[in-house]
Amino acid sequence: MSRPRTRARTAAPEAGLTAGMAARALRRGLRHAGLIQVKAPPALPAQNGRRPHGPEPRQIMSQPASPSLYAAREPVFPRRVSGRFRRLKWAVMAVTLGIYHVLPWIRWDRGPDRPDQAVLVDLAGRRFFFFWIEIWPQDFHVVAGLLVMAGLGLFLFTAALGRVWCGYACPQTVWTDLFILTERWVEGDRNARLRLWHAPWSLTKARLRLTKWTIWLLIALATGGAWVFYFADAPTLLQALVTGTAPPVAYATLALLTATTFAFGGFAREQICIYACPWPRIQAAMMDERTITIGYRDWRGEPRGKRGTPGAGDCVDCKACANVCPMGIDIRDGQQLACITCGLCIDACDDVMTRLGRPRGLIGYFTLTDECEERAGRPPRPVWQHILRPRTILYATLWTLAGAGLIFTLFIRSPIDIDVSPVRNPTHVLLSDGTIRNAYDLRLRNRHPEARTLALSFTADAPLRLRIEGQDGLTVTVPADQTADLRAYLDAPPESAAAAAPHTPLRLWITDPASGDRASAATYFTGKGD
């Protein structure tokens, strides 16, 4: 019986792999790569209390034991909790939602024929109004400065306080909190919601679900509605939306934001924070051992056990901390990516500790360095020492400098402005009398609320002649809050230095005689170059 098998093995290299050998080799390779697994079949039933003799049978699984990249969502039913961090979250929610919904309705007098909405993104006029500040497309450096400040602010808060933005002020957190509040109001607290979730469909369940979804939809509609009011005069747009005369883009934006708010706040919730948002990954790179974050004092709580258990630590394993968590995690398992440091588990555990007559703070905000100190029985550093350290001071200094620069830029900004583009095709024209002519496209801006007559001039170390196309004088009237485009010519007399030189630097100026404001732009005159 053994001969043919030996022959087959030795013959294989010459005759090529048999199908069976190839399959075995492939399976071996896949097994090494972890794509299939060898799984023992269910144990044979014991007979008369004895296991059957012989080697354990093995079975090759043909399906890949793939680490699935998909995990079905486990619904989370956070329990109601009260405490200082819950109160802080309510306060932040009230302030952020209040600002978001009220801002488009604040009026701001900017004079006749100008929008009186304090915060307005005027897409048609290509302008952004923020109270007394007006940002034109040319002020991109202001927008860039604001983005830099926002980035530095997030760096600063993350380095000092971890994911405080995620836990308290992120729109996803705020709206999810609001949706959970509604859910609790309609369906009851955690246990009632769990019972309802597992209950078969009935009239009561359908009624509660419909009520909840209707309220969610109204909240989502108000959210989308508030957003579109930032892009048009809010009272006028509201009237148009109600009467069905608003532009289609307003309805489309409203529908899109309503749908996303409904889906993200009502159903996706913690999935957005864990899977969709890139910020948790970025934040991990900004935190260090001195960053204040949430942790469980396991050296105090473990071994956990019911009250009165001999040798047990302070944790009575009541799971209150896990039951209130909106992310559905247990902080006692250690710091996790999903934790948004909202502090609700602190409130829950503090409540339990108070009722047990034990010191609060089994779960709390602390740093990794504090953890080492506390484990060694030493007192942790004061909080201000974690917040005020070279890294956070550097972020704060950069943030302040960026802010100061932004304010300075806004204050020194002239209400009139000029952009110059030399015409490049052709760069210069030779006239019949030998004069060299250059053409320039100019854009003059008047940010004043009334029309201004601006005088055009130039400065150069060359005897040039300036002329505006289609008119005799060198003045241009620019309407209030508008720009004016025009073409100007500079002529260099024949045989002059500017006519011969390849480039002669110069500066074009506009002056507002009424206010004395001036603005200029550097450019050059292109001569023959010989």
Judged by the rule CB under 6 A, the positions of this chain that interact with ligand SF4 are 294, 301, 315-321, 324-325, 327, 329, 331-332, 339-345, 348-349, 352, 362-363
Q: CA–CA separation, 122 vs 156, rounded Å?
A: 32
Residue 340: CB minimum distance to ligand SF4, A: 5
Nearer of residues 295 and 527 to ligand SF4, judged by Cβ: 295
Contact assessment for residue 12 and residue 18, using Cβ atoms and an 8 Å cutoff: yes
The strand pairing partners of 444, in sequence order, are: 418, 484
Residue 335: CB minimum distance to ligand SF4, A: 9
Nearer of residues 30 and 88 to ligand SF4, judged by Cβ: 88
Residue 354: CB minimum distance to ligand SF4, A: 11
Nearer of residues 336 and 397 to ligand SF4, judged by Cβ: 336
Q: CA–CA separation, 67 vs 49, rounded Å?
A: 38
Helix axes 140-161, 279-286, angle to 10 degrees: 70
Residue 386: CB minimum distance to ligand SF4, A: 18
Nearer of residues 181 and 238 to ligand SF4, judged by Cβ: 181
The 3-state DSSP class for residue 288 equals coil
The DSSP letter of residue 47 is: B
Residue 127: CB minimum distance to ligand SF4, A: 41
**Residues 6 or more apart from 150 whose CB is under 8 A from it?**
none
Is the sign of the CA dihedral 471, 473, 477, 482 positive or negative? positive
Of 44, 26, 232, nearest to 121 (Cα)?
232
Nearer of residues 318 and 486 to ligand SF4, judged by Cβ: 318
Nearer of residues 340 and 444 to ligand SF4, judged by Cβ: 340
Nearer of residues 344 and 476 to ligand SF4, judged by Cβ: 344
Contact assessment for residue 23 and residue 31, using Cβ atoms and an 8 Å cutoff: no
Looking at this protein, which amino acid is placed at residue 513? P
- Kindly report the number of other CB atoms within 10 A of residue 281's CB atom: 9
Of 123, 126, 103, nearest to 229 (Cα)?
103
Looking at this protein, which amino acid is placed at residue 398? L
Nearer of residues 198 and 306 to ligand SF4, judged by Cβ: 306
Residue 325: CB minimum distance to ligand SF4, A: 3
Nearer of residues 342 and 510 to ligand SF4, judged by Cβ: 342
Residue 348: CB minimum distance to ligand SF4, A: 5
Q: CA–CA separation, 112 vs 126, rounded Å?
A: 18
Distances (CA, A) of 96 to 7, 99, 178: 81, 5, 12
Residue 304: CB minimum distance to ligand SF4, A: 6
Torsion of CA 58, 61, 67, 71, to 10 degrees: -110
Nearer of residues 344 and 510 to ligand SF4, judged by Cβ: 344
Nearer of residues 121 and 318 to ligand SF4, judged by Cβ: 318
Residue 85: CB minimum distance to ligand SF4, A: 8
Q: CA–CA separation, 241 vs 258, rounded Å?
A: 14
Residue 296: CB minimum distance to ligand SF4, A: 6
Torsion of CA 481, 483, 484, 485, to 10 degrees: -170
Contact assessment for residue 476 and residue 454, using Cβ atoms and an 8 Å cutoff: yes
The strand pairing partners of 364, in sequence order, are: 295
Nearer of residues 292 and 418 to ligand SF4, judged by Cβ: 292
Torsion of CA 207, 211, 216, 218, to 10 degrees: 140
**Residues 6 or more apart from 451 whose CB is under 8 A from it?**
477, 478, 479, 480
Q: CA–CA separation, 314 vs 306, rounded Å?
A: 9
Residue 349: CB minimum distance to ligand SF4, A: 3
Q: CA–CA separation, 184 vs 169, rounded Å?
A: 21
Nearer of residues 215 and 349 to ligand SF4, judged by Cβ: 349
Distances (CA, A) of 517 to 446, 455, 510: 11, 11, 8
Residue 128: CB minimum distance to ligand SF4, A: 36
CB-side exposure of 83: number of CA atoms within 13 Å?
Answer: 21
Residue 173: CB minimum distance to ligand SF4, A: 10
Strands of the sheet with 119-122, listed across from one edge: 119-122, 127-130, 133-135
